Structures are given as structure tokens and as C-alpha cells.
């Protein structure tokens, strides 16, 4: 065996190991207690501010190369996809004409009844996905930050308007997004006329839909939209599609939902400036989250779900 001539010194590795494990546990406890804010937030923002220019530079060079390599590797698939997309485009154009007709009728009725929109158009910031923190971290890093109007908690959609996730941390030039499939917060959704709760599952792209006070069964293929009861997303954004029929079981329905967005293929996302008044929204002491009640400084349990004050995630 060709062992290398490493210097023989008194081995202090074990005491160092124990010391660092204790320090790590203290840091984790500290982070949980601070709920991700305070010093941790400052440290995180500072590190990301230093690293993000390097990430942007490397992503600028690497992304076109990776896309070209992926394109070359999948050239046969691209031809097939092109044919399918042309067919889908024709179908969509026909649907678009029908929708434009309906929109014109809607405008007419709104004018007749003097209806105004309660909320104006949401501010939208288009951002490039420049990477991921880690192969085991579901988060996405984008190249827009506070200098572009992005704030923690803002909802994120893709270019088709499908729900992606929300901003978890932000620096002046970058932000990290946690997708709904990697979030432990439940999302209030609308399926038909019923309001339910969507939660992520470990190791699966599918999400679990629970409708506690269901009035009718849910059928496969039903569209799942964000609900007006949601404090995380504005209402009416498509989330996914119900995978299996689900019957009523003691006035509740449980089934699985496949989100429309494939996180792995995302290159561009859109961050929504919502709520329109984040200062007053964040100033609320008690936030009625979907299925959870998070009260700053204390822990409570609701009938719908568990409550945590722990940080992270």
C-alpha cells in the first residue's frame, strides 16, 4: 500500500470534531429560535451578495453552453416536440379566438354594469434562474434582488402563469426561491367551487390535496387554482391538475395533484409584487396561513393543521 508521508502530530481531530459539532448544533438552534431573521439574515444576505456576482458571471458563460449541449443531445426529441407544438399552437390559436370573443363580451358587460377591478395589474419582475444552492436543495437562485423590487415572501410564477413558489431570501442582486413542492407550508387552493389545502410530499413531484369540507367528489383532470383565501399567492393562478378521481369520505376528499411546473426545466421565472402593500401585510402580528396559524413568539394548533414557529425551510 502506497500511503503518503503525512506528518505525524498529536491527533487533535476528535476534540475539534466534537467542538464543531456542538457549534453547528448551537447555530441550528440559534437559527430556529431567530426564525431565519436577525443576524442569520444579515449573514445570509452578505454571503449571497458576495457570491452572486460570481454566480451571474459563470451562469452567463455556462448557461448557453449547457443549453446547446442539451439541445444537441436531444435533437431527435426536439423534431418530434416541434411537430407536437405546431399542432398545439393551432389548437391554442383557435381557443384564443374564442377567449378573445368572451373577453370582448366581458368588457361590454363590465361597461354596462360599471364594474371596476378591485386590484390593478400586479407588478412583475422577470428573472433568470442562474442555479441551485445544492443538489439536494430544492431552492432556485435567480438573478434579481431587492434592487429590482423583489422582497421575501413574494409569489413566483413561470412564463405561462403557473405557480412556482415564493421568495425565501433576497439580496440586492439575487434571490432564492423555494418551490411549492419543496415547501412545508400548505397552499390554499380552489378546485371547482371547493377550497382545499395542497401540501408537498417527501421525494415526490406530486402534492396531496385535502378538501376538509367537501360537497362533491373531485375528478381526475380537474384544474387546481390558487384560492382567494391564500395569503401566499394571489387568487386564480393555475397550480396543477388532479391525478386521480377522489370520492367523498366523511365529507372530506383527499387526492394527488401534479403541479404544472417542472422545476428542473425552469430557466425564466416571474416574481409578482404581491401583496400590493407588503408593509401592512408584514406588520400583522398574526398571519392566518393555509392550514397553519403562525403567531410570532408562540405556538398554537388549529383544527386544520399544525403550527410551527421554527425557522428554516
Partner 1 sequence: MKLRTPALVFLILVAAVVIQTTLFGTFRLITPDVVLLVSILLALTRIKPELVLAITFAAGLMVDLIGSSLLGLRAIVFMSAAYIALRTRERADIGRIATGLWAGGVTLIGVVLLLLLGTLFGQSTILGEHVFSRLFTVPLANMLLALLIAPVLVRIVDQDPAALRY
Min dist CB 239 to partner 1, Å, is 15
Q: Should residue 133 be labelled a site residue for partner 1 when binding is judged by CB under 8 A? A: yes
Min dist CB 288 to partner 1, Å, is 20
Is the preceding omega at residue 275 within 30 degrees of 0, hence cis? yes
Min dist CB 63 to partner 1, Å, is 6
Cell of 262: 417542472
Min dist CB 31 to partner 1, Å, is 4
- Over the window 229 to 258, marking each residue x when it contacts partner 1 by CB under 8 A and - when it does not, the resulting string is ------------------------------
Among 105, 124, 184, 215, binds partner 1 (CB under 8 A): 184
CA distances to 61, 89, 109, 137, 192 from 98, rounded to whole Å, are 43, 14, 17, 42, 21
Helices (H), 4-74: 13-34, 38-73
Q: Should residue 68 be labelled a site residue for partner 1 when binding is judged by CB under 8 A? A: no
Beta bridge partners of 264: none
Q: Should residue 3 be labelled a site residue for partner 1 when binding is judged by CB under 8 A? A: yes
| Complex with partner 1: residue 11 or 121, whichever CB lies closer | 11
Among 11, 117, 277, 298, binds partner 1 (CB under 8 A): 11
Among 263, 269, 271, 272, binds partner 1 (CB under 8 A): 263
Please state, in angstroms and rounded to a whole number, the distance separating the CA atoms of residues 217 and 254.
9
CB burial of 245-258 (b: ≥16 within 10 Å; e: otherwise) equals ebeeeeeebbbbbb
Q: Should residue 47 be labelled a site residue for partner 1 when binding is judged by CB under 8 A? A: yes
| Complex with partner 1: residue 3 or 102, whichever CB lies closer | 3
Sign, CA dihedral 229-232-238-243, equals negative
Question: Angle CA(127)–CA(133)–CA(135) in degrees, nearest 5?
Answer: 120
Please state, in angstroms and rounded to a whole number, the distance separating the CA atoms of residues 164 and 142.
13
| Distance, CA of 174 to chain centre | 16
Binding positions for partner 1, rule: CB under 8 A:
1-4, 6-7, 9, 11-13, 16-17, 20-21, 23-28, 30-32, 40, 43-44, 47-48, 51, 54-55, 58-59, 62-63, 66, 130-139, 141, 168-169, 176, 178-179, 181-184, 200, 202-205, 263-264, 308, 310-313
Amino acid at each position: 500500500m502506497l500511503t503518503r508521508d503525512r506528518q505525524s502530530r498529536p491527533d487533535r481531530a476528535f476534540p475539534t470534531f466534537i467542538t464543531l459539532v456542538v457549534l453547528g448544533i448551537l447555530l441550528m438552534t440559534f437559527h430556529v429560535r431567530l426564525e431565519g431573521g436577525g443576524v442569520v439574515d444579515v449573514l445570509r444576505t452578505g454571503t449571497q451578495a458576495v457570491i452572486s456576482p460570481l454566480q451571474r458571471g459563470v451562469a452567463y458563460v455556462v448557461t448557453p453552453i449547457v443549453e446547446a449541449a442539451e439541445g444537441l443531445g436531444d435533437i431527435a426529441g426536439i423534431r418530434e416536440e416541434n411537430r407536437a407544438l405546431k399542432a398545439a399552437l393551432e389548437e391554442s390559436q383557435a381557443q384564443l379566438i374564442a377567449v378573445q370573443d368572451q373577453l370582448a363580451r366581458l368588457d361590454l358587460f363590465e361597461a354596462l354594469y360599471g364594474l371596476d377591478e378591485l386590484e390593478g395589474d400586479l407588478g412583475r419582475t422577470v428573472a433568470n434562474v442562474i442555479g441551485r444552492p445544492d443538489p439536494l436543495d430544492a431552492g432556485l437562485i435567480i438573478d434579481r434582488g431587492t434592487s429590482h423590487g423583489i422582497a421575501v415572501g413574494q409569489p413566483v410564477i413561470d412564463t405561462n402563469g403557473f405557480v412556482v413558489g415564493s421568495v425565501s431570501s433576497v439580496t440586492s442582486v439575487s434571490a432564492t426561491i423555494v418551490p411549492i413542492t419543496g415547501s412545508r407550508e400548505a397552499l390554499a387552493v380552489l378546485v371547482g367551487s371547493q377550497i382545499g389545502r395542497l401540501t408537498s410530499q417527501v421525494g415526490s413531484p406530486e402534492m396531496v390535496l385535502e378538501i376538509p369540507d367537501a360537497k362533491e367528489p373531485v375528478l381526475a383532470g380537474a384544474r387546481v387554482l390558487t384560492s382567494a383565501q391564500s395569503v401566499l399567492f394571489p387568487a386564480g393562478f393555475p397550480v396543477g391538475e388532479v391525478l386521480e378521481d377522489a370520492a367523498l369520505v366523511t365529507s372530506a376528499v383527499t387526492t394527488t395533484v401534479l403541479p404544472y411546473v417542472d422545476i428542473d426545466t425552469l430557466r425564466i421565472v416571474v416574481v409578482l409584487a404581491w401583496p400590493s402593500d407588503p408593509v401592512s401585510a408584514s406588520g400583522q402580528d398574526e398571519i392566518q396561513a393555509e392550514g397553519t396559524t403562525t403567531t410570532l413568539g408562540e405556538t398554537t394548533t388549529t383544527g386544520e393543521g399544525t403550527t410551527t414557529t421554527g425557522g428554516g425551510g
